């Protein structure tokens, strides 16, 4: 497993994860739960937005895939930010040719991760994103 000197940050925050690939959705949910996060997973981006709109205060962070049917990750973020402007959202994608960390930030995402990623990279990004202040905070 991990070397004894290796520290992986844990949390207990509520994460909404959106990815239309069932295998990825399942693996990421397991990864995050292993490190203490409470995860709600959706494979349909429209359903994720609907649930978020009904209970926006029940989530501390959103992670969304970029390329999905019906509503892509940018659309998910736009709708969720309209509902709750302070929600931190991480963009996940396998398509480095479509989006970069810089373009993701310009779209309003607080974090960016390229697939495939390991649990250390994912959990570390989740913790850093949750710990950073909102844009404009001092």
The band of 134, judged by pLDDT with boundaries at 50, 70 and 90, is low
**Which of 126, 121, 66 lies closest to 96, judged by CA?**
66
| pLDDT tens track for 26-62 | 999 999 999 999 999 999 999 999 999 999 999 999 9
**Which of 64, 45, 50 lies closest to 108, judged by CA?**
64
The band of 135, judged by pLDDT with boundaries at 50, 70 and 90, is low
Orientation of helix 119-131 relative to helix 22-34, angle to 10°: 70
| Nearby residues of 33 by Cβ (< 8 Å), 6 or more positions away | 39
How much of the chain, in percent, has pLDDT values that exceed 70? 91
What global pTM score does this model have? 0.91
| pLDDT tens track for 100-114 | 999 999 999 999 999
**Which of 58, 59, 126 lies closest to 92, judged by CA?**
126
Which fold would CATH assign to domain 14-131?
A: Rossmann fold (3.40.50)
pLDDT at res. 6: 65
- The most distant pair of C-alpha atoms in the chain lies apart, rounded to whole Å, by 44
| Nearby residues of 25 by Cβ (< 8 Å), 6 or more positions away | 17, 19, 41, 42, 43
Domain chopping of the chain, boundaries: 14-131
Phi-psi region of 11 (alpha: psi -120 to 50; beta: other; left: phi over 0): beta
The C-alpha atoms of residue 131 and residue 41 are separated, in whole angstroms, by 22
């Amino acid at each position: 497993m991990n070397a004894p000197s290796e520290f992986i940050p844990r949390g207990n925050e509520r994460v909404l994860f959106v990815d239309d690939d069932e295998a990825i959705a399942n693996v990421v949910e397991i990864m995050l739960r292993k490190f203490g996060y409470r995860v709600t997973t959706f494979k349909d981006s429209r359903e994720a937005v609907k649930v978020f709109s009904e209970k926006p205060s029940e989530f501390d962070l959103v992670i969304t895939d970029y390329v999905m049917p019906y509503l892509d990750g940018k659309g998910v973020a736009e709708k969720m930010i309209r509902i709750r402007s302070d929600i931190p959202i991480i963009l996940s994608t396998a398509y480095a040719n479509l989006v970069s960390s810089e373009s993701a930030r310009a779209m309003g995402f607080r974090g960016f991760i390229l697939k495939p990623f390991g649990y250390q990279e994912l959990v570390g990004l989740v913790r850093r994103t949750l710990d950073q202040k909102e844009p404009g905070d001092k």
